[in-house]
Amino acid sequence: MKKAVAFIDGENFYHKISEFGDMKPWFIDWDNFFKNITPKNHELIRTYYYKCEKVSPYDFNRPLPRKISLVPPETPESRKIKANEWYNQCVVDYQKQLSDYEYNIACRWSNIEIKKVGTLKVDPWSEEILGEKGLDVGLAVDMLEIAPLTDSEILVSGDADYAPAVKCIKSKLKKIYLVRFFSGPPPRTKGTGTDLLTCADETIDLYEEELWKNMVQPMFLSKRR
């Protein structure tokens, strides 16, 4: 039996499945999910689930960005207070989210390890979450380090930034499987980088209806939007 290790880009994964009727990672029955993404004649020995370690720091002592237009009776100081309050709440909410992942996923499925790498980028002025910084680098480095210890690796992400790491791992004669998600009808996939799709050895395709019917815990089936 060949050995396989799965790497899940948690930020990318969250946004992908949120399109499927507002599905959440903790809705998933991970035992069934793993059965569906594990290649034939392989044993999935470990899964690494990557989340940002923290919200990126922001220095509110700096002047207001030029893009900010104050609306009377706003002042620079009141606008800064508003942005600071949003940022502080964002930090609290994200730390709670990390605790939820540990409790609802890692503690319930012993073969899943939550790895905290990089920072979550936010814009407190527009009150937007912009994405992650450094998570993809940490995940790619781990894929390269673990490659000699396993037969195959499974990547759950559509981010084209992983293409160089995938190519390097393939040069070590290891197989790379890429998980894609389809929604619809008709079933369509989006957000998977062409470079990544081209260099992966094989794709493992999961469909919205299949996820809800076969891979979601019964207690969450009524949550579908």
Task: Specify which of 23-27, 63-67, 220-224 reaches the highest per-range mean pLDDT.
Answer: 23-27
Give the DSSP per-residue string, 140-175. HHHHHHHGGG-SEEEEE---GGGHHHHHHHHHTT-E
Local structure of 10: helix, strand or coil: helix
Say yes or no to pLDDT of 188 above 80: no
Q: 102 vs 224, which has greater pLDDT?
A: 102
What's this model's pTM, rounded to 2 decimal places?
A: 0.91
Q: Do 143 and 7 meet the contact criterion of CB atoms below 8 Å apart?
A: yes
Please classify residue 170 by burial: count the beta carbons closer than 10 Å to its beta carbon, then call 0-12 exposed, 13-18 middle and 19+ buried.
middle
pLDDT higher than 90, residue 222: no
CA atoms within 13 A on the CB side of 10: 30
Residue 224 has pLDDT above 90, yes or no: no
pLDDT above 80 for 54: yes
Identify which has the larger pLDDT, 38 or 189. Answer: 38
The one-letter amino acid at 104 = N
> Does CATH place domain 2-53+111-122+130-223 in 3.10.20.30?
no
Q: Residue 2: CB partners within 8 Å, gap ≥ 6? A: 39, 41, 42, 43, 151, 152
Q: Are 64 and 80 in contact (CB under 8 A)?
A: yes
Contact 154, 4 (CB under 8 A): yes
Confidence class for position 225, pLDDT limits 50, 70, 90 = low
Provide the pLDDT for residue 223: 78
Q: How far is CA 49 from CA 33, 67, 138, 224, in A?
A: 13, 36, 12, 24
- Find all residues with CB under 8 Å of 141, minimum gap 6, and list them: 165
Q: What is the mean pLDDT of residues 135-153?
A: 97
Residue 219's pLDDT is 87
Residue ranges of alpha helices (H) inside the chain are 10-18, 30-37, 76-101, 135-146, 163-171, 194-199, 208-214
Average pLDDT for 148-162? 95
Mean pLDDT computed over 148-166? 95
Determine the pLDDT at residue 63. Answer: 87
